[in-house]
Structure formats: C-alpha cells, structure tokens
Amino acid sequence: MSPMIDLLRLSRALHLTAEPLDTNGWMVSGGARSHLVRDGVCDCADAVYGRGECKHLLAIRLAVLDADVRGALQMMIPATGTRAVHR
C-alpha cells in the first residue's frame, strides 16, 4: 500500500511552482519562502523534522502532471486562504 497523502498539503502544493534546476534539483516557490529540493530531499522544516511528505515534494509530483490536468485541478481546488465566489 502506498503511503497516505495529506490532502490539505496536496491542495497547498497544487498552487506552488516547482521548476527543475538540473537533473536532480528543483526550486519550489510560491509559498512563504522558496525551497530547494535535491535528490528528493527538501530543506523545509516539515522534511527536516520528519513530518511526512512536505508540500514541496508534492508540488514536484504535481509539476510532472499534464498541464491541462493540473490547470483543471487548480480551478477545482482553490488556493488555501482564498475564497471561491460563485454567484
């Protein structure tokens, strides 16, 4: 069985930007600060203190999705802290 993904983290990850730096490095931005992920290891507090798969690693997993699929998910799941208005 694959490990459970924290859905709140996943929804936050969806609105981050993950850009590949080279073959084993990513820069993840769009949160309070940017984080470097190298060889699958992130430098954020969640990763350093072993609090499960952080949103930056999830953002990288989302970044390799088809852009149309990712765009549809972003519309479906609003960024945390914003309120969708449907009137």
Contact residues: Zn ion, CB under 5 A: 35, 42, 44, 47, 54, 56
Cα separation, 51 vs 45, whole angstroms: 8
Smallest distance, Zn ion to C-beta of residue 46, A: 6
Smallest distance, Zn ion to C-beta of residue 54, A: 3
Smallest distance, Zn ion to C-beta of residue 68, A: 26
- Report residue 28 as tokens: 């993840």
50 or 84: CB nearest Zn ion: 50
User: Among 77, 75, 78, 47, which Cα is nearest to 60's?
Assistant: 47
In the numeric block, the tokens 């149309």 are attached to 68
